[in-house]
Structure 1
Amino acid sequence: MHTYTCRMYNGFQTWYEHVFTQFQENHNLVWSSSVVTSESRNSLLHWIRRLVTTQGVVTRAFVLLFFPIQPVDGIFVFLECVSSVGVDAVLGRSVTLPCDIEPTTREDRVYMVLWFRDNAGKPLYSFDVRGRPFTKALYWSDNNAFGPRAYFVTGSNPAGLTLESVQLDDQGIYRCRVDFKNSPTRNFQINLTVIVPPHQLLIFQNSGRDVSTPVVGPLTEGSDLVLTCEVRGGNPIPTVSWFVNDKLVDGILETSVQPVIVVNRLEVSRVTREHLNTTYKCQASNTKLTLPTEKTVRLELFLKPLSVRLLEKPKVLMADTEYNITCEAVGSRPQAKISWHRGKELLRRGKFKESGNETVVMSTVTFSPKPDDDGHVLKCKAENPMVSGSGLEDSLSLNVVCNADRRRQEKRNLSL
């Protein structure tokens, strides 16, 4: 896409200016104008159309034409059409301002390239190859402008003026003038925009505390999650987005201009265990020239146990005989705390051993029941102390028999 600015002027005053855009795909023209006088408007449109049909101005990129046209109000005026291109630069990085120095014929060659800012008559950079090869070109850069930060590159197509360590005050309109040995002078207009990336991105959780680590929480099941992403700075104003497990989601946006602060608040009602380890990424961007500024946090949860069960439930236990009873608790985060009870009292007899992983814990008690344990209940309780009311239990009724009782029972069974 090329943009051209055409103006009618008499050397001192612009009578009329007209901007149009050419889309290379179909060569359509998009007109945007501001009328000074109806006479100058009609004259300008007439001569632009004439240039389009006879000179091919919109089929050639980077062209400057001075055309004498019919007098307006008795004054002889000129029509000037200049190609214009927009270039974005990121503050502190480098940028190249394009300038086509290729001659239209093989017999021609570049003599000099001059760079100007806005409407200044004095150049701020020059590339001089008059009477010398490119390898011995004379370079000059105004120390009050770019100084050593700028250098002209001729090996690229198109050529361009590369500017390092771009500053805010570099933003503006520049003009590249190319003088040839034979061909008319060619001009290009470059509108340089300096983009300032956002300088700070913060994430706050429910309490308003800054999430300085990659983990938010832990929260308990059923509670609400509120994440607030606050982005400061940036020109143009950055777009701030939330991604949940790398999927774009909607948040609640708030923007202030002075100073630039963009806030995007994400609300998740009643989190469940399915939200465990979900990633929430806040991303801020105002240009495709650099990677977005972003921060990702992972949700940590306190989870209550899902189930507790005794893996062995013998119907009869022999007194003074050693047994291993194992209790399994599943689903707690962190691991459930398991305790053993005889009725309402904490079981202190026997040996206890625990094993497990992140979500399952196994507790085994090794004990020898006593005759007075008969009729009591052995309980395994599992709970997450970080979650109130999370306790679950499973139990075994103790049917304890002595050896004599066992022999009598065996004889009774044989007689039946």
Structure 2
Amino acid sequence: MTTSALANGLSSLKGSTVQLECPVTVTDSGNLHWNFRFGSQDMIYSINSRINPHLPADILERINITGNHTIGEYHLSIRELQESDNGIYECYITGTASVYRHQLTVIVDPSSVNIDNVLEDEKLQGTEGKDLIITCRAVGGQPQPDLKLLISGIIVAIGKQSLHFTLLKISRSYDRKTITCYAGNEEISHYQIVDSAKLYLNLKPLWPIFLQKSVSTEETVPLNVSCISHGSRPAANFTWFIGQTNMDVTINSTETKTLNLSTETFSVTSTLSYSVDRTYNRQMVTCKASNINV
């Protein structure tokens, strides 16, 4: 007996309807059989348009023989597909040498898909300049679900059941970008299960800027100078140094912090007030902005 296998088989979603077509028609001298094989199971589903009455009730109520019977065309239709319908379906005409096979795969969606380490406010925390590993996992599904990870709508990684993607030394350009993970089946372009989060980074303060181009004062008047830094999260802290030995004079400074609601970052202004004498003339004053989480 010769067996002719259909190219890629068929895949269809659980709960849907599929029609398995037999490529041959039957004449008056033969009968067309549909058989089901899975593991040790071997069941006759139908002979021509007659469905085997001894099939389990769950199968009987879900199958039908379609096609133009007047020309000997008999196709097998299965509705409300179940996982138990996975297997090989064979059609053949008695008295001939060929058997035509369909490998049916019933696709079961995963129960959920999740991005690891997402906070209650749907934010995924990271730190500017450090590696960030993004992990996406699907729960359940048959066969193993395909995963797609997107950042701002662009696919950055694909996998099955679970995947890991590393953003190396993540830059602030990723801050507040949307991460989306889809789970489904690539073969039938079906992706209905989704989880998303927002990348939310601890951000370094931008380079501090003096608010004055130069500073001059009298010996009897305290030095008064201000620095500003933008773009930090959490808010930056300032350190002040003065003189050739970089003496720390931060204790003599005060800070004002302002939250920018559109970027959710802080601008910090620090003002140093320090009494100096002529020995400080032409000495350097340095302000440094930093935050402890970056």
Q: Same fold (TM over 0.5)?
A: yes
Residue among 193, 208, 223 paired with 1:308: 208
Q: Does 2:166 match 1:267?
A: yes
| Equivalent residue number for residue 298 of structure 1 | 198
Distance 1:384 1:335 in 2: 9
Matched, 1:330 2:243: no
Distance 2:129 2:182 in 1: 27
Q: Are the equivalent residues in 1 in contact too, given 2:48–2:74 (CA < 8 A)? A: no
| In the alignment, structure 1 residue 149 sits paired with structure 2 residue 72 | no
Closer, same or farther in 2 for the Cα pair 1:233/1:382, shift >3 Å?
Answer: same
Aligned match of 2:20: 97
Please provide the CA RMSD for this pair: 5.4
Query: Is structure 2 residue 128 aligned with structure 1 residue 215?
Result: no
Count of aligned pairs: 256
1:339-378 to 2 correspondence within 5 Å?
A: 344-346=251-253, 356=260, 358=263, 359=265, 361=267
Q: Is 1:193 paired with 2:99?
A: no
TM-score normalised by length of structure 2:
0.57
Q: Which residue is 2:222 aligned to?
A: none
Listed one character per residue, the Cα deviations across residues 391-411 of structure 1 (whole Å, up to 9, x for unaligned) are xxxxxxxxxxxxxxxxxxxxx
Q: Quote the residue 2:187 is aligned against.
A: 288
Instruction: Classify the secondary structure of the residue corresponding to 2:293.
Output: coil
For 2:229, the aligned partner's letter is: A
1:276 aligns with 2:175: yes
Q: How does 1:10-89 map to 2 (within 5 A)?
A: 18-20=2-4, 86-89=9-12
Distance 1:374 1:331 in 2: 32
Structure 1 partner of 2:115 = 203
- What is aligned with 2:85? 170
* Residues 12-62 of structure 1: CA deviation (Å, up to 9, x unaligned): xxxxxx3456xxxxxxxxxxxxxxxxxxxxxxxxxxxxxxxxxxxxxxxxx
CA apart distance, 1:286: 4.3
User: Partner letter of residue 149 of structure 1?
Assistant: R
Residues 4, 99 of structure 2: 8 Å contact kept: no
Return the structure number with greater relative CO, CA threshold 8 A, min gap 6: 2
Larger Rg: 1
CA contact (8 A) 2:253 2:270 kept: no
Letter of the 2:138 counterpart? V
Q: Match of 1:169, SS?
A: helix
Distance 2:32 2:120 in 1: 52
**8 A contact 1:203–1:211 mirrored in 2:** no
Q: 1:120 to 1:274 in 2, by over 3 A?
A: closer
Q: 1:264 to 1:84 in 2, by over 3 A?
A: closer
Q: State how far apart, in whole Å, the 1-side matches of 2:101 and 2:4 are.
A: 14
Unpaired stretches in structure 1, ≥5 consecutive residues:
1-6, 8-17, 22-82, 129-139, 179-183, 254-260, 319-324, 389-416
Distance in 2 separating the partners of 1:84 and 1:355:
62
How much does 1:294 deviate?
4.5
Whether the 8 Å CA contact 1:226–1:267 is kept in 2: the answer is yes
Please say if residues 114 and 127 of structure 1, whose CA atoms lie closer than 8 Å, have aligned partners that are also in contact: no
Match of 2:132 among 219, 225, 237: 225
**What secondary structure is seen at the aligned counterpart in 2 of 1:146?**
helix
Q: Counterpart in 2 of 1:236?
A: 143
Unaligned runs of 5+ in 2: 219-224, 241-248
Further displaced range: 112-121 or 166-175: 112-121
Q: Whole-Å Cα distance in 2 between the matches of residues 337 and 266 of structure 1?
A: 33
Q: Taking every aligned residue pair, what percent have the same amino acid on both sides? A: 22
| In 1, Cα distance between equivalents of 2:20 and 2:266 | 63
Q: CA 1:143 to 1:212, structure 2 compared with 1: closer, same or farther past 3 Å?
A: farther
Deviation per CA, 1:333-352, whole angstroms, max 9, x where unpaired?
34546899x9843559xxx7
The structure with more helix, counted as a fraction of residues? 1
TM-score normalised by L of structure 1 = 0.44
Q: CA deviation at 1:153?
A: 5.4
5 Å-filtered alignment, 1:373-392, equals 383=289, 385-387=291-293
Indicate if the aligned counterparts of 1:141 and 1:148 stay in contact, CA closer than 8 A.
Answer: no
